[in-house]
Structure 1
Amino acid sequence: MKQLKFSQHLCFPIYALSRLITSHYQPLLGELDLTYPQYLVMLLLWEHTSMNVKTLGETLMLDSGTLTPLLKRLEAKKLIKRVRSKEDERVVNIQLTAQGTALQQQAGEIPLRLADSLGITAAEAQELRDAITPLLYRLKPALRG
């Protein structure tokens, strides 16, 4: 049956590529003492300065059981701080510390160094992102149900 041939499945190339790309990030992020998931949190905070935990989790597609320990480790490194909302104490906002903001300067070369490590051009990276992002967001609601 053709549909059960390994070579016909979409899942493996995406899974394997994700693991390989993440492995290329490891030495670069090691210089910053960040894991890949911590780097993703920092990317969002460098872009938005502050985000509530719920929005951060939804954006990264992480549940609170995964996100909370990750945030605690970033807080222990003094890169972020958790601040309860004055409007609604149930809402916890994540904000960059001065140290977290300063780390952005060090991280600035990571995208270029990663592309070089992967041997791809910026255009190829954009083409790949453009190809998979619509599917990712089309499937994202299925994670909730």
Structure 2
Amino acid sequence: MESIGDLIRNRRRQLGMSEEDVARALADVSGFAPTRTDVWRWESEYEGRTPDPQYLPYLAVILEVDEAALRRARAATKAARKLKITAPVSPAEVLASVLTEGTGLSPLGTTTGNTVGTVRSVVGTPKSGADYDQRASPPPPWIRTPPP
């Protein structure tokens, strides 16, 4: 069975709506004041968050789905979490759910290597400009370069 988060996200995308659009529509029809962040939390099931039952009739109208399907998906999601059947959400999955397609952002290829402009010395403070990574900008003024 599809989780409540997947159901909301997939249906929202099929309708061409943003998380902000869903939050505004919910505020208009329900009188409650959910935010875009609330919708994101429901979709990603962040910390086990699901829409409160009072939102479900309004979500059904906005997303054009059967309210019973939303209730079943919410119950299944809650049960899976209680039984610890859920998979952990990685930071990359969270970013992918927040960023729209075509933003030009992608995960880093590596997390190792030198950082431009950093001091090569592992312990202590560099004593001369020669210890400073010359590929970057010149050393800060407090690092004296010895005369040649």
Higher relative contact order, structure no. (Cα contacts within 8 Å, ≥ 6 residues apart) = 1
Higher-Rg structure is 2
The answer to whether TM tops 0.5 is no
TM-score by length of 1: 0.29
